[in-house]
Amino acid sequence: MSRNVSIKYALDWTTVIFYVILVVMGWLSIYGASYNFDQSDIFDWEQRAGKQFIWILTAFVLGGVLLLLDYKIYNYFAYIFYGAVLLLLIFTIFAPSSIVPDIKGSRSWIVLGPVSFQPAELAKIATALVLAKFMSAYNFKLKNWKDLLPLALLIFIPFSLIILQKETGSALIFVSFLLMFYREGMKGIVLLIGVYAIILFVVVIKFSIIPLQPEGATLGIILAMGIIVLTQFVYAFFYVKNRKEALIFLLGIIVIAGLSVLLHQWIPLNYNFVALFLVVISCIYWIFVELFNRFRKYWYIVSISLAAALFSFSSDYLFNKMLESHQQIRIKVLLNMEEDLIGAGYNVNQSKIAIGSGGLWGKGFLNGTQTKLKYVPEQDTDFIFCTVGEEHGFWGSTLVLVIFWLLLMRLLRIAERQREVFNRVYAYSVVSILFFHLMINIGMVLGLMPVIGIPLPFFSYGGSSLWGFTMLLFILLRLDASRLERLT
């Protein structure tokens, strides 16, 4: 009994309240999304809202149970839990299709009679715990290669197993741990390089269809090279503050570019290679600057520039060879390169229409016509946010985003008040996972991200994902509550 009392005081009730608000809003949205005028009982077991009600009740029970368990077990059993989940993932790949049916091309659901769940949900939690365990070891240092390699492996194994189940969306979530690594000491440049790579990729792909010359130059590559050179200038001018050298550099680049355009009158030049040549020349220039100034900061930008140039030239190839055709189309739709209103573009277009039609105040609860007409596919799972947008308008959707924001900020606060590294690492993992889900899902619904089928935390229909997020959150709450237990 004494533990129960202490839990009541130590529990972070603010988080619990946000959690309950989100779950209930999700439930009402599911009711709205699958609402049919003929059958209107929110508790009807045959309907999705009725089923979700059961999932919510059981999730509350699950959360309660997690709070009553000893906080130490998460630390003790992290590896065992992780191992068990890996076995489950492997089982899912090889299990007969009576247990693991093929659902829309992916084999990721274990179906046992009326109950079905996705082991990938557990994999997120298990990986978060095992990372916390590994990184809380006494002499762990993120900058040590010896420590970094097993760390990468711990993420890579479940990641690739989930890829093998053809659940690319769930697998992408594992990228979110980078945010946690950043907090734990990973160099910030890694995140910047990630953003830089995405920008270059988008530029190359988006403008690759515009041929500039019969020789085969494309606007995409030339723009990418331009971005690289510009980055060098900005770095030198604003960061290193070698103002004179930077201006000479800019002048030189303009002169060479102009000369090559002139030269093109007599000799046919492929501008793609002219642009590449410019990048190489500029790299040589910075090496000279560095040698004369005995200033070691340019190594960074030179190696990043060369890698970026190589990446830009291979982007096209990566895009066409590494991605499957439906993934290519999704990205092209996002970049407005293809309209495809029947196929991949249909979802996003209908989703935007549904949200757009909500206006400022929305059409009112259960009055959304777009979702009723079943124009938006997956409207109670991945596209649930559409219903919020249509029925509750700008203010309703903003409110939901604000509550998510408050929850994440609260979790950041919780994370920072942990004294144990284990707890802090786990807390940051939770923040990262929730944030990535939110970013990818809402981004998709709003047409800012490619269509990647992952659920919106606490909102989307389905027991598997609701239970997964509940476990993720309540393990953190239990760990957080232990900070008082230790004092007393």
- Binding residues for another protein, rule: CB under 8 A, are 36-38, 46, 102-104, 179, 182-185, 188, 341-342, 346, 350, 352-360, 369-370, 372-375, 389, 393-394, 397-398, 401, 404-405, 408-409, 412, 415-416, 419, 421, 428, 431, 435, 438-439, 442-443, 446-448
* Alpha carbon distance 48, 56 (integer Å): 12
Burial state string for 359-398 with b = 16 or more CB within 10 A and e = fewer than 16: eeebbeeeebebbbeebbebbbbbbbbbbbbbbbbeebbe
Cβ closer to another protein: 58 or 75?
Answer: 75
8 A C-beta contact, residue 11 and residue 63: no
Instruction: Provide the sign of the torsion angle of the four alpha carbons 39, 40, 45, 48, taken in this order.
Output: positive
Which residues pair with residue 211 across a beta bridge?
218
| Distance in Å, CB of 446 to another protein, minimum | 5
Residue with tokens 């331009």: 226
| Distance in Å, CB of 69 to another protein, minimum | 25
Nearest Cα residue to 85 out of 128, 120, 110, 134:
120
Cβ closer to another protein: 64 or 377?
Answer: 377
Strand segments (E) across 273-360: none
| Distance in Å, CB of 273 to another protein, minimum | 37
Cβ closer to another protein: 88 or 414?
Answer: 414
Cβ closer to another protein: 407 or 466?
Answer: 407
Q: How big is the CA angle at 76 (ends 73 and 78), to the nearest 5 degrees?
A: 95
Cβ closer to another protein: 119 or 396?
Answer: 396
| Distance in Å, CB of 21 to another protein, minimum | 17
| Distance in Å, CB of 319 to another protein, minimum | 23
| Distance in Å, CB of 408 to another protein, minimum | 5
Q: Give the CA count within 13 Å in the CB-facing half-sphere of 59.
A: 28
Cβ closer to another protein: 38 or 113?
Answer: 38
* Alpha carbon distance 379, 151 (integer Å): 37
Cβ closer to another protein: 20 or 421?
Answer: 421
8 A C-beta contact, residue 394 and residue 355: no
| Distance in Å, CB of 27 to another protein, minimum | 20
Cβ closer to another protein: 315 or 379?
Answer: 379
* Alpha carbon distance 89, 80 (integer Å): 14
| Distance in Å, CB of 390 to another protein, minimum | 8
Q: Residue type for 183, please?
A: R
8 A C-beta contact, residue 408 and residue 431: yes
| Distance in Å, CB of 415 to another protein, minimum | 7
| Distance in Å, CB of 259 to another protein, minimum | 41
* Alpha carbon distance 363, 365 (integer Å): 7
Q: Residue type for 104, please?
A: K
Cβ closer to another protein: 103 or 287?
Answer: 103
8 A C-beta contact, residue 475 and residue 426: yes
Cβ closer to another protein: 316 or 420?
Answer: 420
Nearest Cα residue to 184 out of 130, 136, 149:
136
Instruction: Provide the sign of the torsion angle of the four alpha carbons 7, 12, 16, 19, taken in this order.
Output: negative
* Alpha carbon distance 302, 307 (integer Å): 9
